[in-house]
C-alpha cells in the first residue's frame, strides 16, 4: 500500500512537471513556410515569438506573457523594412512607439498608454521634426508647427518617458 502511494505521488509529480514546462511551438502555412514560432507554457504563448509572412519574411517579433504581448516588439513590412516598434504591457501598446516610412525612416514617434495616444506625438518629414501634437487619452489637446513655441510651452523632460 505504501509503495502504491509513493508510486502515485511520483507519477503525479512527473505529470505536473511535464505540463508546466515550456515547449517550442511551430506553425506552418500550407505552402510549407513557417508562419509562427515560439514558446508555449500551460497552453499559452509565453516567452519570445516570431511571426512570418507567407513568403517567409519576418512579420513581427516580441515577447508574450500568458498570451498577451509584453516588453518590446518589432513589426516589419513584406519587403523586410521595419514598419513600427514599441512597448507592450499586458497586450496593450504603451510608452514610445516609433513608426517608419517605406524607406525605413522614422516619420512618427508617439507616446501611448493602453493603446491610446497619451503624451507627445512627433511628426517627421525627410528626417526633420516638422510638427508636434500633445494628446490626452487619445484626444489631441494641442499642436505645434513652430518648434520654438513648442520648446517654450513644454517641459521637455516629458519627452524622456
As a whole number of angstroms, the distance between CA 56 and CA 44 comes to 24
* 28-71: pLDDT as tens digits: 999 999 999 999 999 999 999 999 999 999 999 999 999 999 99
pLDDT bucket at 148, cuts 50 / 70 / 90: confident
Per DSSP, what are the bridge partners of residue 143? 133
pTM for the model: 0.81
Region 136-146 average pLDDT: 93
**Could you give the dihedral angle defined by the CA atoms of residues 15, 16, 18 and 23, in that order, rounded to the nearest 10 degrees?**
140
CB 107 within 8 A of CB 99: yes
Q: What are phi and psi of 103, to 5 degrees?
A: -100, 0
Q: Strand 82-89 to strand 92-100: parallel, antiparallel, or no bridges (unpaired)?
A: antiparallel
pLDDT bucket at 20, cuts 50 / 70 / 90: low
Residue 111 scores a pLDDT above 80: yes
Residue 17 scores a pLDDT above 90: no
Provide the CA 111 distance to its chain's centre, in angstroms: 14
Cell of 4: 502504491
Would you list the domain boundaries of the chain?
21-90, 105-156
Per DSSP, what are the bridge partners of residue 50? 37, 61
pLDDT bucket at 14, cuts 50 / 70 / 90: very low
Per DSSP, what are the bridge partners of residue 108? 99, 123
Amino acid at each position: 500500500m505504501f509503495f502504491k502511494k509513493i508510486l502515485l505521488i511520483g507519477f503525479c509529480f512527473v505529470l505536473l512537471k511535464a505540463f508546466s514546462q515550456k515547449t517550442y511551438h511551430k506553425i506552418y502555412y500550407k505552402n510549407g513556410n513557417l508562419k509562427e514560432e515560439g514558446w508555449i507554457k500551460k497552453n499559452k504563448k509565453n516567452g519570445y515569438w516570431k511571426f512570418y509572412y507567407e513568403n517567409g519574411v519576418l512579420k513581427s517579433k516580441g515577447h508574450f506573457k500568458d498570451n498577451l504581448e509584453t516588453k518590446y516588439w518589432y513589426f516589419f513590412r513584406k519587403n523586410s523594412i521595419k514598419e513600427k516598434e514599441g512597448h507592450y504591457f499586458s497586450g496593450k501598446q504603451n510608452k514610445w512607439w516609433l513608426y517608419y516610412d517605406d524607406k525605413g525612416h522614422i516619420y512618427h514617434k508617439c507616446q501611448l498608454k493602453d493603446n491610446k495616444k497619451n503624451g507627445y506625438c512627433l511628426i517627421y518629414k525627410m528626417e526633420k521634426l516638422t510638427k508636434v501634437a500633445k494628446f490626452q487619452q487619445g484626444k489631441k489637446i494641442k499642436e505645434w508647427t513652430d518648434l520654438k513655441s513648442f520648446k517654450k510651452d513644454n517641459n521637455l523632460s516629458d519627452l524622456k518617458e
